[in-house]
Amino acid sequence: MTRETLSMIALVLAAIPAVLTVINLLVYRRLRSGMESGTAISVLIPARNEEMNIRAAMTSVLANQNVNFELIILDDHSTDATPHLVREMAAKDPRIRLEQAPPLPEGWCGKQHACHVLARHAKHPLLVFVDADVRLAPDALSRMAAFMDGADAPALASGFPRQMLGTFSERLLLPMIHFVLLGWLPMHFMKWTRRPGFSAGCGQLFIARRDAYRETGGHSMIRTSLHDGVKLPRLFRAAGFSTGLFDATDLATCRMYHSHAEVWSGLGKNATEGLGAPGAIVPMTLLLVGGQVLPFVLLATTPVPSATVIAACWLAWLPRLIAVVKFRHPMVSALLHPLGICALLLIQWLALFRRLRGKPSRWKNRDYQAAGASVLLALLPFASHADAGEVPRRIDLPDQHDKRHVIAFPAGHVTVISLSDRHGREQAGEWIPALRAYRHRVAIHGIADAKGTPAFMRSGILKRIREAHEEPLLIDWSGEVSESIGYRPRVANLLILGRDGSVLHRAEGPPSERNLEMFLAVLDHSLARKK
């Protein structure tokens, strides 16, 4: 490959995030000042060993004026002075309430469990989830509440606070958050589609409508995740709700990490649920290296750089220079942009290797088994998978005729869901004769897990499904619904759901004599209870 060809590749790849950043800035805006809302807010802060942060976090929330709110702190088994400090401030302000987290159930991430418990204690229509290291501006709550008003308001929104940076690693890597967000997510599509892939969020600051949160199942449906910033918006969209983003630079500040080790550990703990996901890391590495590193390599190794190389370097720098002005990023981070890209990719690859080896992630003195073990085990027919135990309160999916179907709970009937990927479709078909006898008494829905299907293949797949299935078959293109249900890949998955959406029984694999006998017994019992 000639140097001229490499230069053109670098120019094109550098132009993609540069152009998208400029376009996204038309959508990604700060919330309007001076706006007020009469909607009450429950501010929810999970706290585990946060004695260095919790007092300042509460003080910043209490400084908010012109808004009705309650402040609930969940002490998640802290071993420091966190609960004592909260009680001390609660004695002086009735808006503060301290709750104690129950023991962490097996299979839950600590933060997701804490947020789930907090939401159950909340009494107001709007829920604001905020980390203990975030400091809100005095008008933050009123502006966020006003943003959630109106017919077109999202059910869930998230803001990216201004990151306070200290160490060199913080300055080098944390500004990458805005670069990845603005450079690779087409934000205009967030309003035009409910597809889960067109969503993002920051786990440091979420605001949600409580009714929508309960319908989706909220944090209970992403219980194993370490990355609620990605998973929670996708969950809402998979359930048919809209999500939004706003620039929280002037609404909140946050100092996430305080050392080099914390930066690398913190960015690595959830890497494989975002940029470092197995299906994303290779193409993203090629795009980032080709567009953000290659231009500077060519610039440094060419005696007389061409105009193409110089243009590619400026395009690679453009989003970072914009961020210096708009998001108050340090100039040194922008100048060392290629080095930051290399460090970011190194963290992603190390996290993936750790995940594939089954090494647990460690955060807040808790170990979380790497979900990546299931990436390898999914190839084996006898692999076991975690049971999520619940389904979203609202599932919204298209069928093979592109007609949308909504499965919502509570319902007035018992529901059976048959779910499988292409490997398990034959087993799913073997269950059909046994279920036909119940079709007038039970709502039966077939769901096909089609995640990872390239867009150019979808029309052909839909044609084959239409030829093979007369009844509606719901297509889960993103895999978000399938994942939230906690199904086992490569085999048929049958679920019996009560009227409230609770999972009464699960069956996996073909309808063996024992499998079928147990499934029908539970189904008959469920119908008898309904009567």
- Which string of DSSP letters, residue by residue, matches 465-487? HHHH-SS-EEEESSSHHHHHHTP
Is the pLDDT at 122 greater than 90? The verdict is yes
Query: What does the angle CA 303 – CA 308 – CA 313 come to, to the nearest 5 degrees?
Result: 80
Identify the three-state secondary structure at position 441: coil
User: Running DSSP on this structure, what letter comes out for residue 292?
Assistant: I
Helix (H, G, I), strand (E, B) or coil at 394: strand
**Model pTM score:** 0.72
On the question of pLDDT at 483 being above 90, the answer is no
Q: Do the beta carbons of residue 427 and residue 409 sit within 8 Å?
A: no
How far is Cα 472 from Cα 225, in angstroms, rounded to an integer? 31
Name the one residue in this structure whose structure tokens are 């759901």: 497
Spatial separation of the C-alpha atoms in residues 417 and 397, rounded to whole Å: 13
pLDDT at residue 487, as a whole number = 79
Give one DSSP letter per residue of 198-224, joined into a string.
S----TTEEEEEHHHHHHHTGGGGGTT
What gap in Å lies between CA 233 and CA 467, rounded to an integer? 34
The CA–CA distances, whole Å, from 70 to 43, 93, 120, 121, 131 equal: 6, 10, 14, 11, 16
Most confident of 107-121, 329-343, 436-450: 329-343
* Of 449, 506, 458, 517, the residue nearest 480 (C-alpha): 449
pLDDT in tens, 169-216: 999 999 999 999 999 999 988 878 777 778 889 999 999 999 999 888
Higher-scoring residue by pLDDT: 487, 317: 317
Question: Do 227 and 273 touch, CB atoms closer than 8 A?
Answer: yes
Between CA 254 and CA 488 the distance in angstroms is: 38
What DSSP string describes 114-172? HHHHHHHH--SSEEEEE-TTEEE-TTHHHHHHHHT-STT--SEEEEEEEEP--SHHHHH
**DSSP bridge partners of 408:** 394
* Element at 69 (helix H, strand E): strand 69-75
User: Residue 342: pLDDT band by 50, 70, 90 thresholds?
Assistant: very high
Cβ proximity of 165 and 171 under 8 Å: yes
Mean pLDDT of 289-295: 97
Beta strands in 200-306 (DSSP E): 205-209, 243-254
**Is 72 exposed, middle or buried (CB count within 10 Å of its CB: 0-12, 13-18, 19+)?**
buried
- The total of other beta-carbon atoms located within 10 Å of residue 512's CB is 11
pLDDT score, position 387: 37
The strand order across the sheet containing 134-136 reads 96-100, 69-75, 41-47, 126-130, 205-209, 156-163, 243-254, 134-136
Average pLDDT over residues 265-269: 82
| 3-state DSSP assignment of residue 452 | coil
Separation in Å, CA 308 to CA 15, 128, 132, 312, 339: 12, 47, 47, 6, 21
Would you say 85 and 158 are in contact if contact means Cβ atoms under 8 Å apart?
Answer: no
DSSP assignments along 304-369, one per residue: S--HHHHHHHHHHHHHHHHHHHHS---HHHHHTHHHHHHHHHHHHHHHHHHHHTTPPEEETTEEE-
What percent of the chain shows pLDDT beyond 70? 91
Instruction: Give me the pLDDT at residue 389, please.
Output: 46
Q: What is the pLDDT of residues 354-404, one digit of tens each?
A: 877 766 566 566 655 544 333 222 222 222 333 334 677 889 999 999 999
The residue among 430, 391, 448, 447 whose CA lies nearest residue 519 is: 430
